Amino acid sequence: MQFVFLMEQVVNGLVLGGYYLLIALGLSLIFSVGGIVNLSHGAFYALGAYVSIEIAKYLGFAGGAILSPVIVGLLGILFERFILRRFYTADPILSLLVTFGFAMIGEQLIRILWGAAPIPVSMPAAMKGPVMVGDFLFSRYRLFLLAVVVVILAGIWFLLNKTAFGRVVRAGIQKPDMVAALGIRLQPYMTAVIVLGVGLAALGGALFAPITIVHPAMGAEILTVAFVVVVIGGLGSFWGVIVAALMVGVVRGVTIHFVPAAGAASMYLLMFLVLMLRPRGLFGERIEKFE
């Protein structure tokens, strides 16, 4: 019985890792291409949750989950055009300060529009209840989330590795000067990466709203975990973020099984151990500055 319960916690940890992955992957992509640590990334995650709630009132949960990332992604175009674009070649501390200020503004705007109290979100009726797989008991909705994350991950991998867009982005991460010498402007690609990154964050907020607490400060809470995942995986590494997110999720899930009070501390201990052995993270790469 203990083994069965432990395996259930591992699966729940994988779901949690998928949750972290949607946030951390966009954060890592934005840093890799633009060299900007986007401290406002959590605000887009929170906005995605709130926008999906509003859309769901008229189009249902599925409508909210689909349209929310699209709407927030379009806002990402304005975010890149009028804010981030000014800081690609500036001192990195300036982009940190600006995006931090933008995150605070976003949180307060959410408080003004939706109030400070948490908002309960119901999952779709078809996804409620458990699923028995042999001796294991799993949440139907959590398995659905895990499947969605796998599909999204496969789509992003295909985009980055099997398309012309992905080849330019990967080349821009490693050798931006060479890309510029070939006459390719990275600016439009950076805009697309911002849209993809904030759209993923919004999708995470929309999909995981039923199993988390939707409140104005939720973006600041998840941002800390996202940074831990990116640091463990290594800056600039696609697979590093994936492995790190799943590791953090499983470690937290298993730790909660044995020592419930140490769940949050476990990921920081994991980060410490990884950085002691691999200062660049598991799959960290050398990144050149975006020009």
pLDDT in tens, 210-260: 988 899 999 998 988 898 999 899 877 788 899 999 999 888 878 877 787
* pLDDT range class, residue 177, cuts 50, 70, 90: low
Residue carrying the six token digits 């409140």: 215
Buried b (16+ CB within 10 A) or exposed e, 15-48: bbbbbbbbbbbbbbbbbbbbbbbbbbbbbbbbbb
What burial class does residue 222 get, using C-beta atoms within 10 Å of its C-beta: 0-12 exposed, 13-18 middle, 19+ buried?
buried
* pLDDT range class, residue 3, cuts 50, 70, 90: low
Residues 97-126 have pLDDT tens digits of: 999 999 999 999 999 999 999 998 888 888
Phi-psi region of 128 (alpha: psi -120 to 50; beta: other; left: phi over 0): beta
* Residues facing 138 on adjacent strands: 131
Q: Is the dihedral of CA 222, 244, 154, 74 positive or negative?
A: positive
**Which residue, among 58, 70, 207, 50, has the nearest Cα to 113 in the 3D structure?**
50
Say yes or no to pLDDT of 76 above 70: yes
pLDDT at 165: 85
Arithmetic mean of pLDDT, 174-180: 65
* pLDDT range class, residue 199, cuts 50, 70, 90: very high
CATH of 1-117+124-290, one of 2.60.40, 3.10.450, 1.10.260, 1.10.3470: 1.10.3470
Written as six digits, the tokens of 230 are 């990116």
Task: Report the percent of the chain where pLDDT is more than 70.
Answer: 89
Q: Where are the alpha helices (DSSP H) in 83-139?
A: 92-114
Within the chain, strands assigned E span 130-133, 136-139
